[in-house]
Amino acid sequence: MTRSVDRLGAPPVASSDSAPEYFERTVSGYGGERAPGGGLWHRHFLGRRREIALDWLDLPAGAVVVDVGAGPGPLTGALRDRGCRVVAVDRSRAMLARAREGGARAIVGDACAVPLRDATCNAAVALGLASYVEDLPGLLRELGRLVRPGGRVVVSVAVRSAPDWWMRRALRAPARAAGVRGLLTSGLELQTWRRTEWRAAVTAAGLELVEERGHDFTLFPLSRLLPGPSVSASRAVETLDLRALDRAASEVVLHLRVPGPVERVPPVRRRPRVLRLIARLNVGGPAWNAVLLTRGLAARFDTVLATGQVGPGEVEATATIAAAGVVPERVRGLGRAPSLVDDVRAFFGVLALTRRVRPDVVHTHTAKAGALGRVAAWLCGVPRVVHTFHGHVFHGYFGSAMSRVVVAVERALARRTDRVLAVSAEIARDVSDRYRVAPSDRVRVTRIGLPLARLSDARQHRAAVRAELGVCEDTPVAVMLGRLVPVKEPEVALDAWEIVRRALPSAALVVVGGGPLLESVTARRADGVHLLGWRDDIERWLGAADVALLTSRNEGTPVALIEAGAAGLPSVATRVGGVPSVVLDGETGMLVERGDAAALAAALVRLFEDGDLRLRMGTAARRHVTSGWSEERLLADVSSLYRTLLVAPPR
């Protein structure tokens, strides 16, 4: 590589001949530590650089963007989501293959001699490339040549005055001597620039400087040895947004403009974008609802489903996700359990995702995702915000003081929410009337939808499954589906079952599910109880049963009872939350007060002993749930809601 003597006056020179070879060898790293789930510092550095660029690339759908030195195409996906057309240019074919996977048109070419005609693009981007090109004015001049008058050029440059670069230069020789492998010791001469130099380069290239923004205030090697504290400190400095601190940033991103009047980009119609956020996709109704909406509305809305991780003792709905063909984005730190560190990390992750996706609608599910997602939507100026209450934590989860705090927070969030959906009329009344979280004119009952057709012939499994259980054809069998967690009160079910066994000694209870209370339930060693853990083939166990049982102290929409009804089973359940909407007392099952084991046992025994009543209620249950909780009805309801909100004037 020939080093330019005069950076501002030299003719354009090609980027380092060794750079493409280096990145050909390290491309796999961009699927590892540099990927969204990789090393913390890499995610921080590359992610923040991309966020800044996307803030400035506020382009209409149909705009053409050339990404020079595209690498693995970190911008491609985000720009494609906005409806832009992306041309990726790089000398590394392996890197271009990654960009092509993201939807870019890939071209092999040199940064200072891009094989495109003049003024063919609306914007040009070169992130990180200036570190490998000696002639910065030549690079900027070439980028400006590609862009139409009034268009934008976004370039990042390494800052020579940054303490981070001082440390890198000082430690290069010791690192080589110690045999450390990486970019620092690769032999590549990385270019750093003074502020006067890059500003002079902008002028020499005939471009206008609109804005410059520094980022990454970490210090090498602490950024690798202690990435957590280093990144947290850097983010704190970045939030100050003080231009005077840019000299200490390891990199500055430049927002440049090609002189001349802005050329109008012909509008291209695009589908509305929806960002759907749920804390975790554990087995249950909320997860299925989120996955179904993502898959079912794909033809009408571009949807990104974002989620966190399931907690200890929970099982992710892997089969449901795979069957739907949905690939969710993972937000680090997002989950059910409260944790200050994880919640802060999750919030910044949601905020970054919202900025990248730029949705027309943010639709949140579950309490924590609803809080983080709605605040992020407000900060990012998202036009429409929807939240679904699949249940609520206003009572039954916390003490009285904490419950009051939760209600107060939800009231504040509801002021920034265009529509509040409740999965049952009971929850809607709690939200609007009992706890006054949101006014009734913004609360709408939207029942969940489920794929119920597969359960219509569940009865065919009866003989085979009963043989597996070792019970006879005429043995009374109840089934209980769901998580074994405190709110489900499985110990009440076991108390009731002990009473049932006194009247019907051969009766069997099949428990399908797991959770933190599985160990204590197992320790009870209740007679006639079969603990199966988590199963994907619930239709088999429903087909083998006579009655479904639910003993929750709070419930949104009882998915287990909807599925039981679709299989033709009557239910015995507690009268809580949304249960009365699913189980019509005396028609499709029997309801009792929560915690009343004796009443539960009496209802079970009555249904076990009266076959005609059981058949009549089971038939009515199937008719009731298939008409009210189908997936087709849910998709139609939510699609109509989105369309209505998007054309309505702002609140």
CA-based torsion, 433, 439, 441, 443: positive or negative: negative
For residue 138, give the nearest of 2, 42, 260 by alpha carbon.
2
Domains and CATH numbers, the chain: 18-159+188-216+252-257 (3.40.50.150), 273-449+633-647 (3.40.50.2000), 456-629 (3.40.50.2000)
CA-based torsion, 539, 391, 361, 31: positive or negative: negative
In this predicted structure, what is the pLDDT of residue 169?
A: 81
* pLDDT higher than 70, residue 544: yes
In this predicted structure, what is the pLDDT of residue 227?
A: 86
* pLDDT higher than 70, residue 98: yes
* pLDDT higher than 80, residue 32: no
Distance, in Å, from the CA atom of 355 to the CA atom of 52, rounded to the nearest integer, reads: 10
- For residue 491, the tally of other CB atoms under 10 A from its CB is 17
In this predicted structure, what is the pLDDT of residue 284?
A: 78
Instruction: Give percent of the chain with pLDDT exceeding 70.
Output: 89
In this predicted structure, what is the pLDDT of residue 594?
A: 95
In this predicted structure, what is the pLDDT of residue 360?
A: 94
* pLDDT higher than 50, residue 247: yes
Q: Once rounded to an integer, what is the mean pLDDT over residues 211-215?
A: 92
Instruction: Tell me the pLDDT band of 175, cut-offs 50, 70 and 90.
Output: confident
Distance, in Å, from the CA atom of 266 to the CA atom of 272, rounded to the nearest integer, reads: 18
Q: How does DSSP assign 80-100, residue by residue?
A: HHTT-EEEEEES-HHHHHHHH
Express each pLDDT in 293-323 by its tens digit. 999 999 899 999 999 999 887 888 888 898 8
Instruction: Tell me the pLDDT band of 113, cut-offs 50, 70 and 90.
Output: confident
In this predicted structure, what is the pLDDT of residue 398?
A: 66
Instruction: Tell me the pLDDT band of 13, cut-offs 50, 70 and 90.
Output: very low
Residue 572 CB-density burial (10 A; 0-12 exposed, 13-18 middle, 19+ buried): buried
Express each pLDDT in 570-607 by its tens digit. 999 999 988 999 999 999 999 999 999 999 999 999 99
Most confident range (mean pLDDT) of 116-120, 520-524, 620-624 is: 620-624
Distance, in Å, from the CA atom of 24 to the CA atom of 71, rounded to the nearest integer, reads: 10
Distance, in Å, from the CA atom of 608 to the CA atom of 528, rounded to the nearest integer, reads: 15
Of 20 and 583, more confident: 583
Q: How does DSSP assign 332-371, residue by residue?
A: TT-SSS--HHHHHHHHHHHHHHHHHH--SEEEEESHHHHH
Beta pairing class for 571-574 and 589-592: parallel
Instruction: Tell me the pLDDT band of 25, cut-offs 50, 70 and 90.
Output: low
Q: Once rounded to an integer, what is the mean pLDDT over residues 228-248?
A: 81
Instruction: Tell me the pLDDT band of 185, cut-offs 50, 70 and 90.
Output: low
274, 350 Cβ separation under 8 angstroms:
no
* pLDDT higher than 90, residue 448: no
Lowest mean pLDDT among 254-268, 409-423, 506-520: 254-268
For residue 106, give the nearest of 142, 60, 71 by alpha carbon.
71
* pLDDT higher than 80, residue 18: no
In this predicted structure, what is the pLDDT of residue 180?
A: 65
545, 477 Cβ separation under 8 angstroms:
yes
Half-sphere exposure of 500 (CA within 13 A, CB side): 33
Q: Supply the DSSP symbol for 110.
A: B
* pLDDT higher than 50, residue 160: yes
Opening angle at CA 328, ends 323 and 330, nearest 5: 140
Residue 434 CB-density burial (10 A; 0-12 exposed, 13-18 middle, 19+ buried): middle
CA-based torsion, 376, 379, 380, 386: positive or negative: positive
CB burial string 371-380: b at 16+ within 10 A, e below: bbbbbbbbeb
Instruction: Give percent of the chain with pLDDT exceeding 90.
Output: 53
* pLDDT higher than 60, residue 647: yes
Instruction: Tell me the pLDDT band of 31, cut-offs 50, 70 and 90.
Output: very low
- In the chain, the amino acid numbered 159 is V
In this predicted structure, what is the pLDDT of residue 582?
A: 94
160, 192 Cβ separation under 8 angstroms:
yes
Distance, in Å, from the CA atom of 642 to the CA atom of 644, rounded to the nearest integer, reads: 5
- Phi and psi, residue 646, nearest 5°: -70, -25
In this predicted structure, what is the pLDDT of residue 209?
A: 95
Q: Supply the DSSP symbol for 630.
A: B
C-alpha distances in angstroms, 99 versus 62, 82, 96, 114?
Answer: 19, 16, 5, 17
* pLDDT higher than 60, residue 7: no
Average pLDDT over the chain reads 86
* pLDDT higher than 80, residue 47: yes
* pLDDT higher than 90, residue 24: no
C-alpha distances in angstroms, 388 versus 173, 175, 302, 367, 391?
Answer: 57, 53, 19, 9, 9
* pLDDT higher than 90, residue 271: no
Q: Supply the DSSP symbol for 72.
A: T
Q: How many residues does the chain have?
A: 651
Instruction: Tell me the pLDDT band of 14, cut-offs 50, 70 and 90.
Output: very low
Lowest mean pLDDT among 144-153, 181-190, 475-484: 181-190
Half-sphere exposure of 91 (CA within 13 A, CB side): 18
Distance, in Å, from the CA atom of 391 to the CA atom of 578, rounded to the nearest integer, reads: 8
Express each pLDDT in 474-499 by its tens digit. 999 999 999 899 989 999 999 999 99
Q: Once rounded to an integer, what is the mean pLDDT over residues 333-357?
A: 90
C-alpha distances in angstroms, 280 versus 199, 277, 329, 365, 438?
Answer: 47, 9, 11, 10, 25
In this predicted structure, what is the pLDDT of residue 561?
A: 96
Express each pLDDT in 397-441 by its tens digit. 667 788 888 899 999 999 999 999 998 888 899 899 999 999 999
Instruction: Tell me the pLDDT band of 12, cut-offs 50, 70 and 90.
Output: very low
* pLDDT higher than 70, residue 263: no
In this predicted structure, what is the pLDDT of residue 478?
A: 97
Half-sphere exposure of 215 (CA within 13 A, CB side): 23
Residue 402 CB-density burial (10 A; 0-12 exposed, 13-18 middle, 19+ buried): exposed
Q: Once rounded to an integer, what is the mean pLDDT over residues 80-89?
A: 84
* pLDDT higher than 70, residue 34: no
For residue 53, give the nearest of 34, 36, 73 by alpha carbon.
73
* pLDDT higher than 50, residue 134: yes
In this predicted structure, what is the pLDDT of residue 81?
A: 75
* pLDDT higher than 60, residue 3: no
Most confident range (mean pLDDT) of 80-84, 398-402, 486-490, 534-538 is: 486-490
In this predicted structure, what is the pLDDT of residue 238?
A: 81
CA-based torsion, 295, 298, 301, 303: positive or negative: positive
